[in-house]
Structure 1
Amino acid sequence: MLIASSEEESVANRGQGRSGGARTSGGQRRREIDNQGILPVLARGVREVEAAVQRGRGTSIRSRYQAIALLVRVERQRVKGDTEVSEGQRAELLKRLDGVATILAKTAAREPQLFDLLADDAVPSDEVKMLMREMTQAAGLEVAPEPEPVVDEVAARTERRVLPQSVVARQLANPFMAPDFSAPPAPQPQTQRLSTWELIGPLLSAFERASVGSSACMELPEPASTMTPGGIPLMHHQAEVVEAARQGHRTFLLADEPGLGKTAQSLLAAHAADAFPMLAVVPNVVKANWAREAEIWTPHRKATVIHGDGQDIDGFADIVIVNYEVLDRHVGWLGDLGFRSMVLDEAHFIKNKSSQRSQHVLQIADRLRQRVARPLMLALTGTPLINDIEDFRAIWEFLGWIDEKQPRAQLMASLEETGLTPLDPGFYPAARSRVIDLGIVRRRKIDVAADIPDRRIADIPVELEGEAARSIRDTQRELIRRLVSRYDHAVAARSEKPEGIDEQLVEHVAILVRDETPADDAENVFTMMRRIGQAKSALAADYAVQLARQAGKVVFFAKHIDVMDTAQEVFEQRGLRYSTVRGNQSSTARQESIDAFVNDPDVKVIVCSLTAAGVGLNLQVASNLVLAELSWTHAEQTQAIDRVHRIGQDEPVTAWRIIAAQTIDTSIVGIIDRKAGLAARALDGLDEETTSADLQLETLTALLRTALQDRTA
């Protein structure tokens, strides 16, 4: 391999086509050839890979890296065997290929996991093969068509399905699982006036015809109590849905705006209806939050979360949480486990009925209804009902209101009672009302403003995955090991051993570790927090996308540039328009970004730097903001929230704080909140704001204390 810095500098605009056509000495002809063929494509690609690794996103470009490396090998062999080029031309081409290979090698040195992709036995994935074909086509070269594999789709899907051992144990413990048909049957229509009518279209049209501001909420009963069985107070609007379930209502399209507690309402409705076990199908980004909410609202019910093939789940749990992305592997046993309730979070995910995701959800729902006469079915979404009503067809089918062709018995009987047909103008408002009565619940923040505080922080725990997550957890374990080792060494040096944990020594050790100069491969709390921010950036952006599509404009705050970059990439991939406020912007560009967010209804998100946009902005056009990274001080967090919660804001404000579960994120957020509580109780401005150094010290102290407690437990 030739290594030449000049080649690295020029590789982006030099290359040679497969035609080997560099046979003239004319400068113009040479320039044309240099910008043709596969080499310019490889050069651009390797620079993109290099830039991604420099920004700390090495895991996101593994496939592109391997595709480039394989194409370099193919092109090298082609050039070596090309008899139509001179030796000088061959040497020049090989030198340019070496330039690309050099950058690949140096990039792998920065991201060692990429070296595995250079091994001779590294098998390219389908994605890698696709990228190779795309780059070859971009070079203007012919690509041999690949034969279409003959695939039995049903067999392929079945082959991917799994059956966790704990589920087998549950089935063996209760092999009969008798169906429950104790509930009264659904009413049958008295006449058949509408039996020959196509009714699904008119039902959907009934919602499109409704005037703006028309109520889209069923009549809800007055709650008998606003306290949970565990003694936690409920907001009035939450208690209404729980009371409806207690009184026997069994289907809900719960379309409250984000921030009104749909998860809590679902869990408590299942408790009120005695509808366990429950299946919750949720987006991956809120899977951990569902487990946490279950622990808060239904602590007497065991919740389990399915990851991957689900071999570590508790098959005897009362609440089973699965994300859409892995549903295909588990659809078999989920339909047979005997669930008495099913919740579909972000239910608009199934709007495309032809997708496998939708088909699996509807399949499980139908099998559930075959075993239980009136199961509790809840579809949660914050999307306004008056927009894209056709998207709700699959949701109505999930809830059992309609099938593929017509309303089911309960809705059909209700429509027959009106005495109207789609030819009658009065049919549409009457039909809309009858559908709403089946269980549509839609409340806005402003509708229940008396129930909720004018400003609140809601934590969304997310689970980090992949190599970055494993690396972060390994680093955290190493940091804890350093703390415990220093503590043990200090205790061993004493003549008198302490009884229990020596709190003074714990703090002293934390100070030493905070102030020491670590080895080159060691990390401190600051660097770990930055890596955690990078790892959860895409998840935070994904949550912001969901908010924007449900509740309107969203402010997205981050501390680091690479986190903002990742978020903007996610928004672009999802087709979401955004603006941005960063520290390196001119005052003119900054104001243009703010104006676009405030005035353009199509700009749904503004991506803001915590340091550059934490003060001096008026963004009260939004009532939701996402804090993608934790602040080092409570004041910094408050300043960010105050960009939205200020004079002119007419809705309660919710700050969604993204927390990486099973990392020091959870320790730090607890410390920040505790400091905030102390500050709230301080009088006359005597409270001192926590510094980042103090926060690092308290984090280390908490990690060491927890490790020592776990060891002695």
Structure 2
Amino acid sequence: MSNLTKEQLERIEANRQRALEKKAERLKGSTLLQQVVAPPICQNVKLSATQGASGKFNAQQSSSVATKQKSQPLFDLTGSDEPNPGSSRKFNGQQSSDSAVKQKHQPLFNLNGSEPPKRSYSVFRKVLTGCCRLVSPQRFMVDVGYHQEMINLLKTIKSAQYDPKEKRWTFLVEDHKAVMNALRSLKDEVSVSPLPRMILEVLAKSSKEREPSSIDLSRIDPVLLDHLMPFQREGVCFGVSKGGRCLIADDMGLGKTIEALGIAHYYVDDWPMLIVCPSSVRFLWSEAIQTWLPSVPLHSVMVLTCSKDPIEEDTRVLITSYDLLSRASSAISKLSFGVIVLDESHFIKSKDSARTKAATAICQKARRVLLLSGTPALSRPIELFTQLRIIDPKAFRGSGSMQEYGLRYCAAKQNAWGWDYSGSSNMEELQLLLECRFMIRRLKSDVITQLPAKMRQVVVLNPSSVTSGTKQMKHFEKELQNKKASEMRGALLAYYRITGQAKLAAIQDYVSDLLEGDRKFLCFAHHQLVMDGICEVVNKKNLGYIRIDGSTSSSGRKQLCDRFQFDDSCMVAVLSITAANTGITLTAAQLVVFAELFWNPGVLTQAEDRAHRIGQQDSVLVQYLVAQGTADDHLWPLIQHKLDVLNKAGLSKDNFRRSDTTSVMQTNQKTLLNYFSTLNEVEEDEMLALLLDET
């Protein structure tokens, strides 16, 4: 008999029950952990018979579970998938104590001789990646690493060729689909991206185009046709073979204007024609049409100088600038233009600019679109995208076309501000794509044997920018017409002086447009005022330049010339006609611009030869900027006359009469040819001395 009272026994029993419940709670966490961890280790794990289907424990069942769990095996010793007899997935209070005891004897592995369950592993294999690239208009390559089974598949393609030097397999473009189908069977081991859709479509379209050599150009105006050089004829045939939609990207001075007019006149039945160009060369295009297409009536050619200018319905050729195109797009679009020429098309390199949007909109309605640019992409491939899409919208259709182009050719990267297209990639393929469908480009070095060593071009400046209608200008013009030869010297010099002032705004516009072309050039002028104005324009563009005039020292001239020759950031040499026409070499430029004339042709030709001399590998283009209604109307024919005299005497081989454009002299103006032909050498020397004093 125990000496404990009834109350003490009940208290002891209550404490024991609480201890058992706490032990059952600890076993609960252990059992659940086994259920979570065990299945990934072995697939034949047997659920505890004492665990409920819901995975929850009952406080009243915990005691019995704790006892029985010790003897419950973790794996079935019989190999059966059925749970142990007498076991239950639910716990109750009577089983908790036995379960805790049985759990200690539970074996970890099956002891009946069968293999233990296998662990399930995830196998990661490295997938070989690559892509297809175009290597010629007919063939493409598979750029991928070594994989023997892949090589065996590629060998089954009929057009397969292996280049041991480049270590690459190439195939005909027509077998592209077969190659991709063959590689699809190795998709778990080899992943090769195909050629972009736009490339396949462009190549397919090009294969159906006419052969340039088979094109008959007899329908073009015979005056233009007779003056085409062989490479220019090739350019016209290329444009016609592309259906009048192409980019002529010949180097500066190779005659893109005459090529474009040749292609445009081939499609004269699709006119009216719209010519969009920099504002400074609008009248140069008008002169070119009069020169090369005399069959086009003069009254049907209109140069748009203001957005409010009325456009006549019978206009056959409308010439406008990029800025006016965007401002007067509604009025211009009223005419249904079948042929459109975009001169200096790099002006529309930015997709977000107003000029690009206006040009794109109006070109969508035209059957023929010709783009001209000696520098179509000034710094990066993305600048070509808007131009190519204007030529062939179908090749770059869809909202993601720019991204597709950028990823392929601009090494596009996505950052916090969007897509960055400033890079370049796959340049060899891009060049093939351009040459196959869009562009023809010849450098001077390619056609140097067909070119004269030096070419001259007369550029008629924009009359709206020339202040030729002032009372002062009219006064000097009247004096030159009425005074005797002996009295005209002072009037001519004064007229020449204010002509520089009158031309300055137009000269600045032209130089500003030239600077967009990103190429070096020499710019000669006579008056300090004009030289200052040119330097001002270059400064506004934040470009490097040199200036040589009468105040430049001999040692300074050498340093400045070396800078222009060897510094790529120095784009312009602003030079005095009389102070820098001899003694310097500036062959880094192939373009020479005379902002002002000078009546001694010997001085002009010496100035030209600063670029056209030993060390020059290309043909040199010389441009003379002239303004109607100024002293240029008198000086230009005078220069021509003097050179004719020298040519007849065998003293010069230069001939200014072979310049690209005709003389700007007006028929109602009296020239000074007779006057200068009667001057003796002393009088000419005196006039030259007066001019030298102006420097």
TM-score of the superposed pair, with normalisation by structure 2: 0.57
User: Which protein is richer in strand relative to its size?
Assistant: 2
Match of 1:339 among 337, 340, 348: 337
Local SS of the residue matching 1:438: helix
Local SS of the residue matching 1:611: coil
Q: Which residue of 2 aligns with 1:671?
A: 638
Task: Tell me if the contact between 1:280 and 1:319 (Cα under 8 Å) persists in the aligned partners.
Answer: yes
Matches within 5 A, 1:262-281: 262-274=256-268, 275-281=270-276
Matches within 5 A, 1:133-144: none
Ranges in structure 2 where 5+ consecutive residues have no aligned partner? 1-175, 181-192, 203-209, 410-424, 655-664, 673-695
Task: Tell me if the contact between 1:480 and 1:704 (Cα under 8 Å) persists in the aligned partners.
Answer: no
Whole-Å separation in 1 of the counterparts to 2:551 and 2:352: 46
1:622 aligns with 2:616: no
Local SS of the residue matching 1:618: coil
Q: In angstroms, what is the RMSD of aligned CA positions? A: 3.8
Change (3 A) 1:673 1:705: closer
Q: What amino acid maps onto 1:341 in structure 2? A: V
Displacement after TM superposition at 1:610 (Å): 0.9
Deviations 1:320-360 (A, max 9, x none): 00112222332013223111111111111111221212111
Task: Tell me if the contact between 1:199 and 1:406 (Cα under 8 Å) persists in the aligned partners.
Answer: no
Deviations 1:73-96 (A, max 9, x none): xxxxxxxxxxxxxxxxxxxxxxxx
Q: Which residue of 2 aligns with 1:330?
A: 328
Change (3 A) 1:358 1:511: same
Local SS of the residue matching 2:615: coil
Deviations 1:512-564 (A, max 9, x none): 5415x7xxxxxx23223232223333543544454455473211111111111
1:574 aligns with 2:544: no
Displacement after TM superposition at 1:468 (Å): 3.4
Matches within 5 A, 1:398-477: 398-401=390-393, 402-403=396-397, 405=399, 429-430=428-429, 432-465=431-464, 468-471=467-470, 474-477=471-474
Deviations 1:13-34 (A, max 9, x none): xxxxxxxxxxxxxxxxxxxxxx
Change (3 A) 1:219 1:639: farther
Match of 1:591 among 555, 558, 561: 558
Q: Which residue of 1 aligns with 2:289?
A: 294
Match of 2:527 among 560, 564, 581: 560
Task: Tell me if the contact between 2:346 and 2:376 (Cα under 8 Å) persists in the aligned partners.
Answer: no
Match of 2:234 among 240, 243, 250: 240
Task: Tell me if the contact between 1:282 and 1:345 (Cα under 8 Å) persists in the aligned partners.
Answer: yes
Displacement after TM superposition at 1:681 (Å): 1.7
Change (3 A) 1:510 1:353: farther
Q: Which residue of 2 aligns with 1:229?
A: 222
Match of 2:485 among 508, 511, 518: 511
Q: Which residue of 2 aligns with 1:4?
A: none
Q: What amino acid maps onto 1:234 in structure 2? A: L
TM-score of the superposed pair, with normalisation by structure 1: 0.55
Local SS of the residue matching 2:223: coil
Displacement after TM superposition at 1:683 (Å): 3.7
Q: Which residue of 2 aligns with 1:305?
A: 303
Q: What amino acid maps onto 2:472 in structure 1? A: T
Deviations 1:288-332 (A, max 9, x none): 101001111122223110111353654412110011222233201
Task: Tell me if the contact between 1:577 and 1:605 (Cα under 8 Å) persists in the aligned partners.
Answer: yes
Change (3 A) 1:351 1:582: same
Change (3 A) 1:198 1:559: farther
Change (3 A) 1:607 1:404: farther
Whole-Å separation in 2 of the counterparts to 1:288 and 1:666: 16
Whole-Å separation in 2 of the counterparts to 1:200 and 1:545: 39
Whole-Å separation in 2 of the counterparts to 1:659 and 1:642: 20
Whole-Å separation in 2 of the counterparts to 1:396 and 1:675: 48
Task: Tell me if the contact between 1:580 and 1:606 (Cα under 8 Å) persists in the aligned partners.
Answer: yes
Whole-Å separation in 1 of the counterparts to 2:217 and 2:667: 42
Deviates more, 1:336-345 or 1:535-544: 535-544
Change (3 A) 1:253 1:200: farther
Q: Which residue of 2 aligns with 1:360?
A: 358
Match of 1:611 among 578, 583, 586: 578
Whole-Å separation in 1 of the counterparts to 2:450 and 2:476: 43
Match of 2:621 among 650, 654, 665: 654
Change (3 A) 1:481 1:567: closer
Which structure has the bigger radius of gyration? 2
Matches within 5 A, 1:65-144: none
Matches within 5 A, 1:505-544: 509-511=483-485, 513-514=487-488, 524-544=491-511
Task: Tell me if the contact between 2:276 and 2:321 (Cα under 8 Å) persists in the aligned partners.
Answer: yes
Whole-Å separation in 2 of the counterparts to 1:222 and 1:549: 37
Whole-Å separation in 1 of the counterparts to 2:667 and 2:266: 42
Task: Tell me if the contact between 1:223 and 1:243 (Cα under 8 Å) persists in the aligned partners.
Answer: yes
Whole-Å separation in 2 of the counterparts to 1:588 and 1:228: 54
Displacement after TM superposition at 1:467 (Å): 8.1
Change (3 A) 1:251 1:466: closer
Task: Tell me if the contact between 2:211 and 2:241 (Cα under 8 Å) persists in the aligned partners.
Answer: no
Whole-Å separation in 1 of the counterparts to 2:500 and 2:252: 23
Whole-Å separation in 1 of the counterparts to 2:309 and 2:430: 46
Task: Tell me if the contact between 2:458 and 2:623 (Cα under 8 Å) persists in the aligned partners.
Answer: yes
Q: What amino acid maps onto 2:385 in structure 1? A: R
Change (3 A) 1:277 1:632: same
Change (3 A) 1:291 1:684: closer
Whole-Å separation in 2 of the counterparts to 1:592 and 1:553: 17
Change (3 A) 1:535 1:586: same
1:389 aligns with 2:384: no
Whole-Å separation in 1 of the counterparts to 2:236 and 2:608: 31
Q: What amino acid maps onto 2:254 in structure 1? A: L
Whole-Å separation in 2 of the counterparts to 1:450 and 1:405: 46
Deviates more, 1:634-643 or 1:270-279: 270-279
Higher relative contact order (CA 8 A, sep 6+): 1
Q: Which residue of 2 aligns with 1:25?
A: none
Whole-Å separation in 2 of the counterparts to 1:620 and 1:539: 27
Whole-Å separation in 2 of the counterparts to 1:542 and 1:700: 24
Q: Percentage identity across aligned positions?
A: 27
Change (3 A) 1:658 1:483: closer
Displacement after TM superposition at 1:383 (Å): 0.8
Deviates more, 1:616-625 or 1:670-679: 670-679
Q: Which residue of 2 aligns with 1:158?
A: none
Whole-Å separation in 2 of the counterparts to 1:545 and 1:201: 40
Local SS of the residue matching 2:446: helix
Local SS of the residue matching 1:437: helix
Ranges in structure 1 where 5+ consecutive residues have no aligned partner? 1-188, 207-217, 370-374, 416-425, 487-508, 518-523, 688-698, 707-713
Task: Tell me if the contact between 1:463 and 1:661 (Cα under 8 Å) persists in the aligned partners.
Answer: no
Local SS of the residue matching 1:450: helix
1:631 aligns with 2:598: yes
Task: Tell me if the contact between 1:223 and 1:240 (Cα under 8 Å) persists in the aligned partners.
Answer: no
Task: Tell me if the contact between 1:541 and 1:571 (Cα under 8 Å) persists in the aligned partners.
Answer: no
Change (3 A) 1:559 1:228: same
Q: What amino acid maps onto 2:387 in structure 1? A: I
Whole-Å separation in 2 of the counterparts to 1:677 and 1:198: 64
User: Which protein is richer in helix relative to its size?
Assistant: 1
Task: Tell me if the contact between 1:257 and 1:550 (Cα under 8 Å) persists in the aligned partners.
Answer: no
Displacement after TM superposition at 1:228 (Å): 4.7
Change (3 A) 1:406 1:671: farther
Q: What amino acid maps onto 1:253 in structure 2? A: L
Match of 2:370 among 370, 375, 378: 378
Whole-Å separation in 2 of the counterparts to 1:440 and 1:540: 31
Local SS of the residue matching 1:396: helix
Aligned residues: 437
Q: What amino acid maps onto 1:298 in structure 2? A: L
